[in-house]
């Protein structure tokens, strides 16, 4: 037991989880922006934009996240020398956020679209009746209700994002949790099971409140109909 505890003095486990939380936060913000934009394209009356939104979702929803992240490091950085900052490690961190954003935006788009499907026909008809064109109708009438209807699926995307932030390991973000777990197990192979459960329970602690919170919020904020 003492051995196990000294392990935590050598390795900073909370700091590793903090990296995952940061990855999740930034990727969540950006993918919400990009996903909303894509959803707007998909419900717009303009065929070429509809096509672009659908193509984006179909491509990135069917690509493994691991490839997208690896592409950021090996393709963008390694072969094209794309750099998002001068700081070497921060660059990998940002490329990982970029990869996570691109992948999860497709799911955010679909979540919002499923939220749009919860908005009754009458709302859009009323919006048209008072003379609103597509963009004002979407901004003032449809999207606010769609977001409230999409909280549960958006919460699922956030949970997936928290767990998927470990895939940043494929993008040379060595400070995140799964990479640290690997290092710790390699250092203390005799403690492989307690080390795994430490990290696993860390993720359970991160994920479960998000699930409870979004379930609560989706009930609380559901539009009464």
Partner 1 sequence: MSAQNVLFDAPGPKSRRNILILNIIGALLIAGLIAYVVFLLGGKGQLAAGKWTPFLEGRTWEFFLLPGLLSTLRAAAIAVVTSVLFGLIFGLGRLSHVKPIRWFAGLIVEFFRAVPVLLMMIFLWLALGRSNLVEDAPFWAVVIALTLYNGSVIAELIRSGVQGLPKGQREAGLAIGMTQMQSLRTIEVPQALIAMLPALVSQFVVILKDSALGYIIGFPELLQNARRLGVGEGNLLQSLLIAAVIFIVINFALSSLATKLSTLLSFRSKGRARDETLDGIAAAEPEGTLSR
Which residues, 140 to 199, sit near partner 1 by CB under 8 A?
142, 152-153, 155-157, 159-160, 163-164, 166-167, 169-170, 177-178, 181-182, 185-186, 189, 192-193, 196, 199
Cβ at position 165, least distance to partner 1 in Å = 8
User: Residues in the chain, how many?
Assistant: 225
Cβ at position 58, least distance to partner 1 in Å = 6
* Residue closer to partner 1 (CB basis): 212 or 223: 212
Judged by CB under 8 A, the residue of 148, 211, 217, 222 near partner 1 is: 211
CA–CA distance from 199 to each of 6, 9, 14, 16, 156 (Å)? 16, 16, 10, 10, 21
Judged by CB under 8 A, the residue of 1, 2, 9, 121 near partner 1 is: 121
Token pair 């998927």 in the structure block, residue? 164
Q: How far apart are CA 114 and CA 106, in angstroms?
A: 13
* Residue closer to partner 1 (CB basis): 97 or 108: 108
Cβ at position 175, least distance to partner 1 in Å = 15
* Residue closer to partner 1 (CB basis): 88 or 120: 120
Site for partner 1 in 58-77 (CB under 8 A): 58-59, 61-68, 70-71, 74-75
**Helical (H) or strand (E) element with 48:** helix 47-61
* Residue closer to partner 1 (CB basis): 5 or 45: 45
Q: How far apart are CA 145 and CA 199, in angstroms?
A: 38
CA–CA distance from 144 to each of 38, 67, 71, 119, 156 (Å)? 16, 34, 35, 10, 19
4 Cβ neighbours under 8 A, 6+ residues apart: 191, 194
Q: How far apart are CA 41 and CA 57, in angstroms?
A: 11
Judged by CB under 8 A, the residue of 90, 126, 130, 204 near partner 1 is: 204
């Amino acid at each position: 037991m003492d051995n196990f505890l000294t392990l935590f003095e050598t390795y900073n486990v909370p700091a590793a989880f903090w990296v995952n939380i940061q990855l999740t936060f930034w990727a969540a913000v950006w993918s919400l922006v990009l996903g909303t934009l894509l959803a707007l394209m998909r419900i717009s009356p303009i065929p070429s934009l509809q096509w672009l939104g659908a193509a984006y979702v179909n491509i990135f929803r069917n690509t493994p996240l691991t490839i997208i992240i690896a592409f950021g490091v090996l393709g963008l950085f390694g072969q094209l020398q794309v750099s998002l900052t001068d700081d070497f490690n921060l660059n990998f961190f940002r490329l990982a956020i970029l990869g996570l954003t691109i992948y999860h935006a497709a799911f955010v788009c679909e979540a919002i679209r499923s939220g749009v499907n919860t908005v009754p026909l009458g709302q859009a008809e009323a919006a048209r009746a008072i003379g609103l064109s597509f963009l004002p109708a979407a901004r003032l009438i449809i999207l606010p209700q769609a977001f409230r209807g999409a909280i549960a699926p958006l919460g699922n995307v956030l949970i997936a994002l928290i767990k998927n932030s470990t895939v940043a390991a494929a993008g040379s973000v060595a400070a995140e949790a799964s990479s640290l777990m690997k290092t710790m197990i390699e250092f203390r192979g005799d403690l492989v099971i307690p080390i795994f459960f430490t990290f696993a329970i860390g993720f359970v602690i991160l994920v479960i409140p998000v699930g409870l919170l979004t379930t609560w919020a989706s009930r609380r904020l559901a539009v009464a109909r």
